[in-house]
């Protein structure tokens, strides 16, 4: 909780503005590097951090930057910024990705093993290329305009070459073997990878969802002489709230009438309930165990302790370890290097090998596709999300990724509590019988 208090104080004392939003279309460390570079060029922005695993971005500035300017900068980089993204919209996008993925897999299978008519192959492969694979072009074109490249550039180059070559071949001579299945299969596997990638991201962010789930959904407020249940978001500072036994305390506040014992284990880690009386402070999302009491709401929404804990975990997940920054820089040069190597592969096989144009082209495509650096950029942020998330689940709050990276060097840990460490779950260790054992049995 010291880390939480420190974060709260830092946010209160700082004059800098932090703006969080979601970026769509990030798939590799090169994407992150390009986007951060674009955001830092916005006048007034002092720093920008983009997290590949969560897709979230944070910009720090002297004053709030207009959302339109942020969206424009991100769009020019080839991606899309979204504020207050709705869950329904995200769910819809996931469903579309699933449809595109399985359609592409089916088409690749049919072209490889079932369909022999090259014109029918062309129709199906074209749908995959420019419908299922359209996202690759959306990301590639803006990057090329700025003489930059990312993972989508490799995919779009490789699949377009295979599709375009096959189209030329069926125009010249339909009897010649085409490679429509190559472009369809590559897009199918890339989309399948992104589907699995989304699943990993969702699993990694479960800790945040679990923390949010701790919050009460409603509060029983007394306004005038009426007692009513309202949504937690409608509670105002100063509202008088009744909390009954077994209920979650809705927000942070002070008891004004009554007394009880409160389970604060989700905040303090203490397994035993804490006695509370008039004028004592109670924390939102903790559980009232026994008595009923009235409390006055003091902190609501983002000001509650639970919200600060959630913010701390989110900031830790979004932060970058030093090694991740190195991977981002390497990836920014990696993609252009791969394109050069693919070109050298093509001309090398074409000039110094008897395999001919077609095989040289396929070898170049293989270099483009196999070299996609998505794993290099995704591994570190995903590990950070999982690590900080697991820590939050067991009550360990990790301030940032740099702290997590340095944790393996810890030699000595000093605990400033009571000196007794427990699991937080009482267990029976001994049974002592008072009096005669036979009588007890």
Name the strands in the sheet holding 287-288, side by side, starting at the edge strand that comes first in the sequence: 274-276, 260-263, 287-288
Name the strands in the sheet holding 17-24, side by side, starting at the edge strand that comes first in the sequence: 45-50, 56-61, 17-24, 80-82
Whether the CB-CB separation of 278 and 255 falls below 8 Å is answered with yes
Whether the CB-CB separation of 345 and 364 falls below 8 Å is answered with yes
Residue tagged active-site, from 173, 229, 416, 430: 416
- The bridge status of strand 240-243 relative to strand 218-223 is antiparallel
User: Position of tokens 């919209």?
Assistant: 89
Establish whether 416 is a catalytic residue. yes
User: Which one, of 59, 47, 64, 65, lies nearest residue 23 by Cα?
Assistant: 59
Rounded CA-CA distance 182/179 in Å is 5
Whether the CB-CB separation of 299 and 235 falls below 8 Å is answered with no
Ramachandran angles phi, psi of 244, nearest 5°: -100, 165
Tell me which residues are annotated as active site. 416
């Amino acid at each position: 909780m010291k880390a939480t208090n420190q974060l709260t104080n830092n946010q209160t004392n700082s004059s800098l503005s932090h703006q969080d939003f979601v970026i769509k279309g990030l798939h590799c460390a090169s994407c992150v590097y390009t986007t951060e570079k674009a955001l830092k060029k916005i006048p007034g922005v002092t720093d920008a951090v983009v997290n590949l695993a969560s897709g979230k971005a944070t910009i720090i500035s002297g004053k709030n930057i207009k959302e339109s300017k942020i969206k424009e900068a991100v769009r020019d980089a080839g991606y899309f910024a979204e504020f207050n993204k709705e869950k329904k919209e995200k769910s819809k996008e996931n469903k579309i990705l699933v449809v595109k993925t399985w359609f592409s897999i089916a088409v690749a299978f049919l072209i490889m093993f079932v369909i022999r008519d090259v014109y029918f192959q062309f129709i199906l492969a074209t749908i995959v290329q420019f419908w299922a694979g359209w996202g690759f072009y959306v990301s590639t074109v803006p990057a090329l305009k700025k003489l930059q490249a990312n993972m989508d550039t490799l995919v779009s180059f490789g699949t377009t070459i295979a599709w375009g070559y096959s189209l030329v071949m069926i125009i010249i001579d339909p009897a010649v073997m085409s490679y429509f299945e190559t472009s369809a299969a590559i897009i199918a596997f890339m989309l399948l990878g992104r589907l699995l990638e989304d699943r990993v991201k969702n699993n990694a962010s479960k800790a945040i969802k679990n923390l949010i789930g701790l919050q009460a959904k409603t509060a029983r407020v007394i306004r005038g002489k009426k007692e009513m249940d309202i949504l937690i978001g409608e509670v105002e500072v100063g509202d008088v709230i009744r909390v009954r036994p077994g209920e979650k305390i809705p927000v942070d506040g002070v008891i004004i009438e009554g007394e009880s014992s409160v389970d604060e284990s989700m905040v303090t880690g203490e397994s035993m309930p804490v006695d509370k009386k008039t004028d004592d402070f109670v924390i939102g999302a903790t559980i009232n165990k026994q008595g009923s009491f009235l409390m006055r709401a003091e902190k609501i929404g983002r000001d509650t302790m639970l919200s600060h804990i959630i913010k701390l975990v989110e900031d830790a997940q979004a932060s970058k370890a030093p090694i991740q920054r190195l991977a981002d820089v390497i990836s920014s040069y990696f993609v252009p290097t791969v394109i050069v190597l693919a070109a050298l592969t093509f001309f090398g096989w074409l000039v110094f090998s008897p395999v001919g144009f077609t095989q040289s082209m396929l070898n170049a495509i293989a270099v483009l596709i196999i070299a996609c650096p998505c794993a290099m950029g995704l591994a570190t942020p995903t590990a950070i999300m999982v690590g900080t998330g697991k820590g939050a689940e067991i009550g360990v709050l990790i301030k940032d990724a740099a702290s997590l990276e340095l944790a393996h060097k810890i030699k000595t840990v000093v605990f400033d509590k009571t000196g007794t460490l427990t699991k937080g779950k009482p267990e029976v260790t001994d049974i002592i019988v008072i009096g005669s054992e036979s009588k007890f049995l």
